[in-house]
């Protein structure tokens, strides 16, 4: 039997096969719980319990788990981050599982066949309606297209360049709070990561608030470079050389005094400092005013 202490299992009853737990499992909630009061009380209950271990043998594990619970709470209490997180979580569930509105998971082949049969009828009806609509409205459609094209030529507008996403930013990038973020599924050494940022005229991710943390958390896949480093005076600054005011250091961090040290965030969005090396880590790029 392994001697490695597992706080998720020992304290919260979350077995290794269910780790890392999703936010709902971590807070002991029904999957996709919607009530913010229920979510808030559940997080408070878990944090109160885990704090009882802060002064014991496993103080470091307690702090790390408290950070994870805090991130889960922040994510689920903000509608926009909860929606994004729920969407990602639903996409990761087994395709043969159905999800009730209350969040429970069940299998029902008979129900599945009945739903498929009804869906087929609806598709046939929709196809008939679409075919009739195309035939009856084609003249009006092409007239509208010609009119719209003429208007665009007169006022000089361009539908491609009027899109919300600026040119040069990858289509997979996501927008939040006036900034664009890209989380490529790729690990690179720090030198190659910097070249990637330069090619895209971007900077490494910089996290400046708990709200931004809750947006970033579901998207980080592992240790990820942040755009923060230690300057010649020994202070932590952002990419523009401005002092960094927000931190989420892990236990016993920062652990290096080396000038030029880099900072990384892990899956629980705890921060770690390290000297530059050739060890590859994930990259997250950001665009927007700092």
Exposure string over 54-78, b if 16+ CB within 10 A, otherwise e: eeeeeeebbbbbbbbbbbbbbbbeb
- Residue with more model confidence, 145 or 126: 126
Structural tokens at position 171: 């289509």
What percent of the chain is modeled with pLDDT above 90? 27
Query: Cα(187)–Cα(281) distance, rounded to whole angstroms?
Result: 5
Contact 290, 177 (CB under 8 A): no
pLDDT of residue 110: 43
Query: Is the pLDDT higher at 14 or at 96?
Result: 14
Length reported for the chain: 290
Determine which helix (DSSP H) or strand (DSSP E) holds 196, and give its type and residue range: helix 190-199
Q: What local confidence, expressed as pLDDT, does residue 59 receive? A: 86
Q: Is residue 282 very low, low, confident or very high in pLDDT (cuts 50, 70, 90)?
A: very high
Distance from C-alpha of 54 to C-alpha of 61, rounded to nearest angstrom: 8
Question: What tens digit of pLDDT does each residue of 148-164 get?
Answer: 444 333 333 333 333 45
Q: Residue 85: helix, strand or coil by DSSP?
A: helix
User: Is the pLDDT assigned to residue 289 strictly greater than 90?
Assistant: no
The DSSP bridge partners found for residue 249 are 271
Place of tokens 């046939």: 124
The CATH number that domain 174-287 falls under is 3.10.100.10
Q: Could you report the per-residue pLDDT of 186-195, keeping only the tens digit for each?
A: 899 999 999 9
Beta strands 187-188 and 179-182 are: unpaired
Give the tens place of pLDDT for each residue, 54-102: 888 888 888 888 888 888 888 898 888 889 889 988 988 775 444 444 4
Q: Which residue has the tokens 């000038």?
A: 259
Which of 24-38, 215-229, 239-253 shows the highest mean pLDDT? 24-38
pLDDT at 150: 42
Residue 267 in contact with residue 72, Cβ under 8 Å?
no
Report the C-alpha gap between 191 and 262 in whole angstroms: 12
pTM, entire model:
0.50
Mean pLDDT rounded to a whole number for the chain? 78
Tell me which of 1.10.287, 1.10.10, 3.30.420, 1.10.3470 is the CATH number of domain 7-106.
1.10.287
- Min mean pLDDT across 99-113, 185-199, 254-268 is at 99-113
Q: What pLDDT is stored for residue 248 in this prediction?
A: 87
Tell whether the model's pLDDT for residue 288 goes beyond 60. yes
Q: What does the block give as tokens for 68? A: 């994870």
Of all residues in the chain, what percent carry a pLDDT higher than 70?
A: 73
Q: Which pair of structure tokens corresponds to residue 265?
A: 């965030």
Is the pLDDT score of 41 beyond 90? yes
* 76, 211 Cβ separation under 8 angstroms: no
pLDDT the model gives residue 71: 84
Domain spans, the chain: 7-106, 174-287
């Amino acid at each position: 039997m392994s001697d490695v202490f597992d706080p998720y299992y020992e304290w919260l009853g979350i077995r290794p096969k269910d780790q890392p737990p999703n936010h709902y499992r971590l807070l002991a909630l029904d999957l996709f719980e919607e009530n913010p009061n229920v979510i808030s009380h559940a997080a408070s209950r878990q944090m109160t319990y885990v704090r009882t271990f802060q002064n014991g043998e496993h103080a470091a594990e307690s702090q790390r788990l408290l950070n994870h619970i805090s991130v889960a709470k922040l994510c689920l209490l903000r509608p926009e981050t909860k929606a994004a997180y729920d969407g990602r979580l639903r996409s990761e569930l087994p395709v043969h599982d159905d999800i009730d509105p209350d969040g429970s998971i069940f299998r029902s082949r008979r129900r599945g066949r009945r739903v498929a049969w009804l869906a087929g009828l609806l598709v046939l009806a929709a196809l008939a309606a679409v075919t009739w609509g195309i035939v009856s409205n084609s003249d009006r459609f092409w007239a509208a297209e010609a009119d719209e094209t003429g208007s665009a030529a007169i006022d000089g507008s361009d539908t491609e360049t009027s899109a919300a996403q600026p040119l040069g930013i990858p289509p997979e990038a996501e927008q939040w709070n006036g900034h664009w973020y890209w989380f490529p599924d790729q690990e690179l050494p720090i030198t190659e990561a910097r070249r990637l940022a330069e090619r895209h005229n971007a900077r490494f991710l910089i996290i400046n608030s708990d709200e931004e943390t809750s947006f970033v958390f579901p998207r980080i896949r592992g240790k990820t470079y942040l755009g923060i480093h230690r300057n010649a005076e020994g202070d932590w600054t952002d990419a523009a050389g401005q002092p960094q005011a927000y931190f989420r250091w892990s236990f016993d961090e920062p652990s290096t005094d080396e000038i030029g040290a880099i900072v990384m965030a892990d899956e629980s969005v705890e921060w770690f400092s390290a000297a530059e090396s050739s060890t590859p880590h994930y990259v997250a790029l950001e665009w927007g005013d700092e």
